[in-house]
């Protein structure tokens, strides 16, 4: 009977160890998924209007310049970016590699019409900066009063 009790104890120990490992793996998968989901939401943006230009800043952390696609029309700036995230987690008992890829999209409606072919863009420190001249600039004209 002692041998049977020992086998049952070992079985319980192994089952607990497997359950703990499965729980750790599931928790790690959720953490990785959460980090990757952070990259799939619509990126933040700022719109700045000066007398002559509309300036749009779009936050794209973790994106490479070569993966960006920018389109500008008279009333909208469209940003598309591919991302490819790979995360390796290694531990004493667990090795996990997760890879996700996808597309980030952001369309920004502009407050005024712009001249699309005069747009300029710079990508630096995860921020895309787009400067587009306004189609109609505010100029003050002196009007003579009769």
Architecture in CATH of 2-133: Sandwich (2.60)
Residue 92, judged by CB atoms within 10 A of its CB (0-12, 13-18, 19+), counts as exposed
Gap between the terminal Cα atoms of the chain: 117
Q: Chain-wide mean pLDDT for the chain?
A: 80
- Of 100 and 136, more confident: 136
- pLDDT given for residue 39 in this prediction: 47
The answer to whether residue 61 scores a pLDDT higher than 60 is yes
- pLDDT given for residue 144 in this prediction: 80
Mean pLDDT of 95-110: 78
Structural contact between residues 106 and 42, judged by C-beta atoms closer than 8 angstroms: yes
- pLDDT given for residue 18 in this prediction: 83
Mean pLDDT of 85-103: 70
Domain range summary for the chain, segments of one domain joined by +: 2-133
Find, among 108, 87, 95, 103, the residue nearest to 35 by Cα. Answer: 87
Residue 28 CA to residue 23 CA, distance in Å, equals 9
Task: Grade residue 30 by pLDDT with cuts at 50, 70 and 90.
Answer: low
- pLDDT given for residue 37 in this prediction: 47
């Amino acid at each position: 009977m002692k041998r049977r009790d020992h086998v049952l104890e070992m079985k319980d120990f192994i089952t607990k160890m497997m359950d703990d490992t499965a729980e750790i793996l599931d928790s790690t998968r959720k953490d990785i998924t959460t980090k990757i989901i952070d990259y799939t939401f619509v990126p933040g943006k700022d719109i700045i209007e000066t007398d002559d230009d509309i300036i749009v800043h779009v936050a794209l952390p973790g994106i490479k310049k070569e993966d960006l696609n920018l389109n500008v029309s008279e009333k909208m700036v469209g940003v598309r970016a591919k991302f490819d995230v790979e995360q390796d987690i290694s531990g004493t008992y667990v090795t996990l590699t997760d890879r996700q890829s996808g597309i980030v999209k952001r369309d920004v409606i502009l407050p005024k019409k712009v001249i699309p072919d005069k747009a300029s863009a710079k990508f630096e420190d995860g921020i895309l900066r787009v400067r587009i001249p306004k189609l109609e600039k505010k100029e003050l004209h002196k009007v003579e009063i009769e």
